[in-house]
Amino acid sequence: EFRRVLFRSGASDHFQRAVKNVKPAVRARRIRFSYPTGSLERHFVRGDLLMSHIVAHLSATFPEGEDFFIRSVRHFADQITDPELKSQIQGFIGQEVTHGREHRALNERLHQMGYPSRRIDRGTRMDLAAFERRLSPLTCLAITAALEHFTAVLAETLLTDERAQELLGPSEVRAMLLWHAIEESEHRSVAFDVYQAVGGSERRRIWTMRIIRLTFTLNVAFFATVSLLQDRASYHPVRLFRSLARLRHSPFISRAVLARLRAYTRPGFHPDDIDNTALLEHWTAELFGERGVLTDHLR
C-alpha cells in the first residue's frame, strides 16, 4: 500500500526507483513432498486430460532446466561485485537445487503412472547440453533470464488466479507447485540482474525471448501431443474435445498472461516493473506462517 501511495503522489523518479528496487529475500527452504502409490489420480489436474499431460511435461523438463539455469548464472557469479546481488545468487542457486530435487521425485511418480517423464528428462538434458556447446555463456544466461520470466509469469498466475489453483485440487502436486511458484516469484529477477550486470545487451535479451517464446510454445504442444498419444483415455473423442475446449479458457493462456510475456521484449523492461510484494507476503504467511499449510513439510 505504501508503494501504491508513493507512486501516485508524484515522488521523485530517483526515490521511486530506489523503493521499487527493494528486493525480496531469496533463500532456499528445506522442504520435502511425497507421492505414495495411489495418492494421485491418473489425470491429476482435476481429471483434465490435456492439462494433466501439459503439467506432467513441464515437470519433466524442470530438473535439467533448473541445473542449466544454475550453471548459466554461476558462470558469471565471480564477476558480480554488488553484495546484495551476490546474496541473491546464492539464494537462487539454493532454491533451484531444491526445485530440481523435488520435481525429480514427482517425475518418478509420474513415470510410474505412465507419463513419459524419463524420456523427456533425457531429451531436455541433450538439448541443453547442445545449447551450452554451441552458444556463448552470455546467450545461455539470456536464455535463462527469458525462461525465468516465463516461469515467474506462470507462477504468479497460479498465485493470483483462483481458477488456476482450483485446477490442481487438494493434491500434493498442488502443494508442491504453490511452493515452487512462490520461490519463482521471489527470485524472478536474479538471472535478469546478473545478465545486465555483466553487460548483456538489450538486443540479445529481446531477440532471445522472441525465439524462446516460439520454441517454448511449440515444445509444450509437441511433447504434450506425443504424451497424449500414449494415453488410451485420449482416444475417447468426447473427453478429448472437452479437454481441448477447456484449454481455450485456461487462466494460463489468458490475455493478461500473454501481455506479460510480451512485455519482456519492450526496451527498458525489468521483471520488477510489476510489484509482487503483497503477493509474496500473502503466500509466505499462507504457506509458511504460524498456521501455514506447508509448515509440516519443512525440514
pLDDT per residue of the chain (299 residues) written in tens, 0 to 9: 434 433 343 444 444 444 445 677 899 999 999 998 888 999 999 999 999 999 999 999 999 999 999 999 999 999 999 999 999 999 999 999 999 999 999 999 999 999 999 999 999 999 999 999 999 999 999 999 999 999 999 999 999 999 999 888 888 999 999 999 999 999 999 999 999 999 999 999 999 999 999 999 999 999 999 999 999 999 999 999 999 999 989 999 999 999 999 999 999 999 999 999 999 999 999 999 988 999 999 98
Conformation bin of residue 25: beta by default, left when phi > 0, alpha when psi is -120 to 50: beta
**Half-sphere exposure (CA, 13 Å, Cβ side) for 94?**
14
158 touches 164 (CB < 8 A): yes
Record the pTM: 0.90
Grid cell 523435488 is found at: 102
